[in-house]
A and B are shown apart, each in its own frame.
Chain A
């Protein structure tokens, strides 16, 4: 296991380096002057020159690259062009809002999606199954930010049950602000989980050991929950990493719909105000998230399934 962890960690370090290289290349080497991209076509030559000077764009590319990696690895993101605030502090202040949204949405998605999938699979071919499948398909297709906007219109604007914007202060107020955004992302995830649970359970129900359990006279409930569902949940749990990552990208537009603070909001505001160091930091943070989630998932599989870690990988 230690060997396996070591391999994964080495992989993660390589991936982080590759990711940093990608962000660096994307922002400096791609066609288009980064200064013009950052400041817009209307910038004066003096502004462009000042920008290049401050961003170190006049240095040789190799030196820029080393400096960039060195700063990023130490989580030294620099200061915002617009507010001169340190970006690290900005991100740290916004991170809890994104994390609480992700955790809450995950709970909603699991608690709704798994039972819905079980009901759908066990009542296969009935009206209930049909309805669950149609709802899941719609949930699968509706873009998160549109669902969020609809919930906002219905429950915050018309019924006035929830606040329209912001992240809230104090525990209760924060929970109150969390309901609609978490419900939005959670419903989208529930649709995904429901489809996955349904197909996995249907697959397992065809297996021999389920037939054996039935044949020996085990009650239907025991067959489904004890024998079948446990096995069916393996692909669902395996999909966990995928959910977290897709929720991460979904959270960006959801934070925007509900005007919530969060890492996505920092990134989008940076993009819209052409705050180059903020955009760069936001990109690196999201990329780090992906690497961390993937590595945790790899380690989790290794712990669950011994075959994976002895695979010589």
Chain B
């Protein structure tokens, strides 16, 4: 029986994920003009999020009742809101909340969900059955509704918001990680590692994780746009970023109460939000096409 043992050097020689993926991805991005444009928009938004208050022409919190509800002008590009605050500056500064949450929630959910899904798929048994049942239950809820339910239970605030959205995404990642793990687990090189007497945790770290990370990254990119939408919706409802701190969602909420004064805050913040979601959706699709040829039309 001991003759079936493979030298561990042979096991370790399995090549990692092919390096052409990144190139294929970059090619796909530069080939399509739409995707390139989306990438530029995202880079610009990232720059705005990082620089935020330093490039804003006005203090986003500065009120002036003499300048309330002004239409767009050379001084106030997007006009002012009912407190006389500069809409352009508020939309600029609000960018950081949308992007921060849009990136943080899928990353947190991706890491946690991968760990849970990998364990469930790898070890099977009751762990798998319990996570499977809970995941199925949570998957029945649209992510936005689940986000609202969780945020309503947790109470308002940006930290709670990130937690709520991350948990809302968690079942999606668990499912993907579990399914990919099940596929990898049946591969001959994993069987060989078992036969070679490697510890399960080592097999997970060396073979399973590198092979399922592609799928998880695709799912994560696809959920960024949704995360940004959910953040905006929750802030709009009043559960997310709290006024006077500006976020696109609460600028729209505030603007709705002053539509007769000036509709500009609503139009500007919503325009930025839509542009951002659109750009991330296009990039998400491009990443999926590049990394996952099955989806290609």
Interface of A toward B, CB cutoff 8 Å: 15, 18-19, 23, 26-27, 30, 32, 37, 137-138, 140-143, 145-146, 149-150, 152-153, 157, 199, 242, 245-246, 248-250, 252-253, 256-257, 267-268, 271-272, 279, 282-283, 286-287, 290-291, 294
Contact = CB atoms under 8 A, between A and B. Distances in A.
Given A143-B229, A145-B233, 20 more contacts: A15-B140, A18-B134, A26-B153, A37-B155, A138-B274, A138-B278, A141-B278, A142-B270, A143-B270, A143-B273, A143-B274, A143-B277, A150-B267, A150-B270, A153-B267, A157-B259, A245-B142, A256-B253, A271-B238, A286-B145
A142 B274 CA distance: 5
A271 B237 contact: yes
Nearest to B276: A141
B266 A267 contact: no
Nearest to B146: A249
B236 A18 contact: no
Interface in B145-183: 145, 148-150, 152-155
B220 interface: no
Contacts of B144: 246, 249-250
A308 to B, nearest CB: 16
A268 B267 CA distance: 23
Nearest to A37: B155
30 contacts: A18-B134, A26-B150, A32-B154, A37-B155, A138-B274, A143-B270, A143-B274, A146-B266, A149-B252, A149-B266, A149-B270, A150-B266, A150-B267, A150-B270, A152-B256, A153-B259, A242-B142, A245-B140, A246-B142, A249-B142, A250-B144, A253-B233, A253-B236, A268-B238, A272-B238, A279-B153, A283-B152, A286-B148, A287-B141, A294-B140
Interface in B254-280: 255-256, 259-260, 263, 266-267, 270, 273-274, 277-278
B239 interface: yes
Contacts of B281: 137, 140-141
Given A18-B137, A153-B267, A252-B237, A146 B154 contact: no
Nearest to A199: B297
Nearest to B270: A146
Contacts of B140: 15, 245, 290-291, 294
Contacts of B233: 143, 145, 253
Given A246-B144, A271-B239, A291-B140, A32 B155 contact: yes
Contacts of B142: 242, 245-246, 248-249
B229 A30 contact: no
Interface residues of B, number: 38
A56 B278 CA distance: 47
B208 interface: no
B238 to A, nearest CB: 5
Contacts of B252: 145-146, 149
The 6 closest A-B pairs by CB, nearest first: A146-B270, A26-B153, A249-B145, A249-B144, A141-B278, A37-B155
A201 to B, nearest CB: 13
Nearest to B232: A143
A253 B266 contact: no
B163 to A, nearest CB: 9
A165 to B, nearest CB: 10
B133 to A, nearest CB: 8
Most buried by A among B145, B260, B274: B145
Nearest to A256: B237
A157 B273 contact: no
Interface in B100-145: 134, 137, 140-142, 144-145
B247 to A, nearest CB: 13
A30 B267 CA distance: 38
A283 B149 contact: yes
A26 B149 contact: yes
A283 B145 CA distance: 10
B45 interface: no
A84 B232 CA distance: 32
B275 to A, nearest CB: 9
B145 A141 contact: no
Given A157-B263, A249-B144, A252-B148, A137 B278 contact: yes
Contact of B237 (A149, A268, A291, A294): A268
